[in-house]
Amino acid sequence: MTVSPASIRNIAFVGHPSAGKTTLVDALAHALGASERKGSVADKTSICDTEPEEQEKGHTLQMKTVHAKHGGLLFNLQDTPGYPDFVADALSGIYGSDLVVGVVSASSGVTFNLRKKLELAAELHRGRAIVITHLDDPNADFDALVEKLQAAIGPQCVPFELPDGSASGFHKVTNVLEGGEVEYRRQLMDRVMDGCEDGALLERYLETEKLTDAELHTHLPAAIEKGTLVPILVCNPVSALGLPEILEFFREYAPSPETLPTFKLKDGGAPIPLEPTGELLGVVFNVRSDPHVGKVCLARILRGTLKASDHIEGPRVTGKGEKAGGLFHLVGGKKREPTDAAVAGEIVAFSKVE
């Protein structure tokens, strides 16, 4: 598979504990073909929560990356811990991604934990979206939760998908662009155009309040990347209700490395432009210890191509560089897929490099 930056989807899932992040990633991994069966946190078969302590507690304790290829796209789904004790792993997942998805349980609502993680994503200029889970909870109220999200995070939080009801009335999901609440559709389109820098298109929209499909595919991801839109999606990952619609959203509208042509390393640092053919440059954003291969580094390639045969230089290794013990993609907590190379925009792992 030839990889272009436009075909890559680097997505981190953040939120409060028990919001449904891992269950959602398990469901997406199965739908994308990364796992033969849909894993479950409850029965200890999750593709992400593979450590004994995670299975015992029923919570993610380390960030896990699920790599998958599907329909001509390359996905890197990053499941992050919810507990503040493990916030470093959550922050690294945010740092390495292009889209940060805040997973919100309709039963617990908007928490300080979620709000702070989404604020950090905004500070790093990462695109943001929200997935509401547990909408089948007896006390769930979709419209009330949307109001709370807008009050806590900002008016840029607008539904892209609508449920047909809450609690026992939740049976179907509808795209607001295809029908449903007119006011939400107007809010969504207005937010898309708030990020538009095409004066002629903006003038035409003000007259007609319409955009073509091609214009939406161009300007909706850009609005997410610029922060003028935080789309709200709906899903029950256990039953898979709304899951195909979320996958379709990620496919069609999630920002790619090409949508974000520069990568911000830190406050005050100069953004690094995406250059697929430039000299190799990457950033390690997560390191974990493996009992079999030692230190495993997870890196995002910012420029050029990293090949399995390359020698890697870093702050501690200069001059000749150091040969990696292997170049591979992570598929959850246990599985690895060897690869010959990783291009600009990709997330890849390697071992035995200091």
| 346 closest CA partner among 295, 281, 269 | 281
Level-2 CATH architecture, domain 5-260: 3-Layer(aba) Sandwich (3.40)
Phi, psi dihedrals of residue 205, rounded to the nearest 5°: -65, -40
Query: So what's the pLDDT on residue 194?
Result: 94
- How confident is the model at residue 337, as a pLDDT? 94
Q: Note the pLDDT of residue 58.
A: 80
Q: What's the chain's average pLDDT?
A: 90
Q: What's the pLDDT at 93? A: 95
pLDDT band at 3 (very low <50, low <70, confident <90, very high): confident
Residue 313: what pLDDT?
78
Over the stretch 174-233, which tens digit does the pLDDT of each residue have?
A: 999 887 678 899 999 999 999 998 999 999 999 998 899 999 999 999 999 999 999 999
**Residue 354 pLDDT class (50, 70, 90 cuts):** low
Angle, helices 21-31 vs 243-253, to 10°: value is 80
CATH class of this structure's domain 272-351:
mainly beta
Residue 178, pLDDT score: 84
Average pLDDT of the segment spanning 165-181: 87
Fold match, 5-260 / 272-351: no
Tokens for 211? 């955009």
pLDDT digits (tens, 9 = 90+) for 242-272: 999 999 999 999 999 998 777 876 656 678 8
Mean per-residue pLDDT, 97-122: 95
Could you tell me the residue ranges of all domains in the chain?
A: 5-260, 272-351
Q: Which stretches of 160-317 are assigned E, i.e. beta strand?
A: 161-163, 173-175, 230-234, 262-263, 272-273, 281-290, 294-303, 305-307, 311-312
Quickly list H helices, 227-335.
243-253
